[in-house]
Structure 1
Amino acid sequence: MEARGGGGGAAELWRQMAAQRGAVERQIAAGREREACTSAAYRAALLSARSCSRQTLSRQGELNGLKLQFRKLEDHLAEALSIKVSKESKCQLTKERISSTSAINEQLKSLVTDQRKKRDQHATVISNQLETVEALEANCKEDETWRKNIEEAVTWYRKFLGFQVIQGQGVKFVFNKVDVRSPDKEYSFTIKINKNRYTLLQCDPSIRDSEVLMKDLNFTNDLFKFVRIIRQRFQDEAATVNGIQH
């Protein structure tokens, strides 16, 4: 009975040990399974981290590339703005030059027009003077009274004051001993006659009231008096220039 009983206790012990061993094995298997799952999750996380790292590095490279492109674009923009400002400045300067040139051209056109008008007027005056000279020269050959008056005036001035008479387009009276400070300085005037009418062609320097004097000469026909008055006007002019009070 005791032997049987002892045999039954051993069997129970073996049963319990087997049950515990099974439990331990199950725990070990479960632990290995958890470890495998953990290892797999770790590897997956590591792979994901590596992928993210690669993506991050790739994106960082792309970002650096974009920054470099952005800097280049900024440089290009700055250069373009500089060129734009320079061109606008040049354009404004060109507009100002064009405006100035246009104004100058208008002035030149006006000046040319005025010069043409003056040229035409001078041509008319010269033509009229030439006609007058030709007629006067023809009349001078026949006007003995006019010659006599000139000869009397020339004789008087040659005798007392000294001067020269030059024949040409009319008769030119050239005086010296007019300016006390410059006795050799010459003063002159030129007259012609056409149909018994005197014309003053030249007077150097010009004198005041020359038109009035010519009217008086044509009215009185006193050439001698006219020459004396002209010389007196020259003396007055010289005194004024020299600051001499009469």
Structure 2
Amino acid sequence: MENETEQNPNAKMEYRRSICFGEIRVQQQIIDSFAASFPTSLNFIKALTLDTAQNHAKLAKMKAALRKTENELVKVLEAKTHKEAKQMDTRESISALKARVEKLKRSVQVQKARRDEYGSIISQESLALTEIEEKVKHAIEENGEIHEAISWYNRVLGFKIEGGHGVRFTFNNMDIENPKQEYSFTIRHADDAYSLLDCDPPLNGIKELINELNRTNGLFKFVRIMREKFQEAATLGMILLYC
């Protein structure tokens, strides 16, 4: 049959026409189908476009909300960091204050101990000072008596006094024949008592005179009596060997 078609040009043309018409019908069906579905597709595309636009708007809002949330989060983190830093500073300040309080407590304890110690020392020193003041007062009174006696003897009788281990009283003008001959005695005052260290020449009754001196503290009277005894010894021309 193909041979017949090839041999008959009309048949060949008819055959090709039928094939073309078949393809045209297929393409027409495709076009019709596309044309029929195009409005639906267009509506779908429009709906999809609108939905996409709405989604873009929602996305923009979500991005804005996210940025706002991020900013708020940053602010919260900054506030938290500032609060933590402030709390840390507060803790450090409290620790430093506690350390200072402990140091002050120790200092107060030390000062209190020193105050008690100083109070005890001051009390002891006050007692010692009172005793010293009494001794000084007593010594001043004694020195006053001594100076009074010295002044009287220098003015009336003429004698000399020498200091050293004790106080040495020296008299002259006792012996008319030998006025330069010296008569002397040495006394010492220690531990609130007088004692005789030497007597030249020796005299009787010296021990009783020393006892009387310690009892009455009358140094002026003692010196006067000693001069009288030296004068008696010079007058009698006697030198006793024992006090």
Shorter chain as denominator, the TM-score bin is: 0.3 to 0.5
Larger Rg computed on CA atoms = 2
The normalised TM-score by structure 2 is 0.42
TM-score computed with the length of structure 1 as normaliser: 0.42
